[in-house]
Amino acid sequence: AQSVAQPEDQVNVAEGNPLTVKCTYSVSGNPYLFWYVQYPNRGLQFLLKYITGDNLVKGSYGFEAEFNKSQTSFHLKKPSALVSDSALYFCAVRDSNFGNEKLTFGTGTRLTIIP
Amino acid sequence: EPEVTQTPSHQVTQMGQEVILRCVPISNHLYFYWYRQILGQKVEFLVSFYNNEISEKSEIFDDQFSVERPDGSNFTLKIRSTKLEDSAMYFCASKRDSNTGELFFGEGSRLTVL
């Protein structure tokens, strides 16, 4: 079975400060990990993914995430937050086993950037 | 930039009625999905579809649900007899690569069952 935990329902950060949105996962095989962002009344928008290779992956809008196998984590980070980063963020995992098409999402973290 | 489009954006129906939600995936994508998000809850996998057949489905996707790709461009989700608990936002998604590709989601269809 595969699962994702986002331990924080809400994260508040002052504009210009660094931000971190936490994610931990559980899979039986190797993980494929994704971050998506959802703006109000919109669909899910892909930010970045980890498949293999460098543990630090860079994505859209200045976001990056670090894969940590020993801690089974994939935290989303940004060095300097913008008010426009305020949105709902979802971490997702898929076990790399062939034939597994199911992407499992976390419960989401609402990020609010305070001007 | 190509995108996944969904119609209708919002549908209100009576319990027991049939509903069809429509999606046009990105044109060169081969893998298609439906997810749903009950208000305030997490995004849940319903079904995946490849090569004109279901490749995987969740326990939510029971006999009341079906999917179809009738004409090579549309991808539909049918709910035969809607229940109150089917009220949710339904997202269609597609991807090109079989293994490592990311999903591209539509804007969603909000279904309200009364």
Q: What is the pLDDT of residues A64-98, one digit of tens each?
A: 999 999 999 999 999 999 999 999 999 999 988 76
Alpha carbon distance A90, A76 (integer Å): 10
Per CB-CB distance under 8 Å, the chain A contacts of B48 are: 101-102
Q: Looking at residue A98, what is its pLDDT? A: 66
Alpha carbon distance B111, B38 (integer Å): 10
Chain B residues contacting A, CB < 8 Å?
4, 31, 33, 35, 41-45, 48, 50, 55-56, 58, 91, 93, 99-100, 102-108
Least Cα separation, residue B42 to chain A (angstroms): 5
How many CA atoms does the CB half-sphere of B65 hold within 13 Å?
19
Alpha carbon distance A31, A103 (integer Å): 11
Q: Provide, rounded to the nearest whole percent, the portion of chain A with pLDDT above 90.
A: 83
What residues contact B66, with CB distance under 8 A and at least 6 apart?
B77, B78, B80
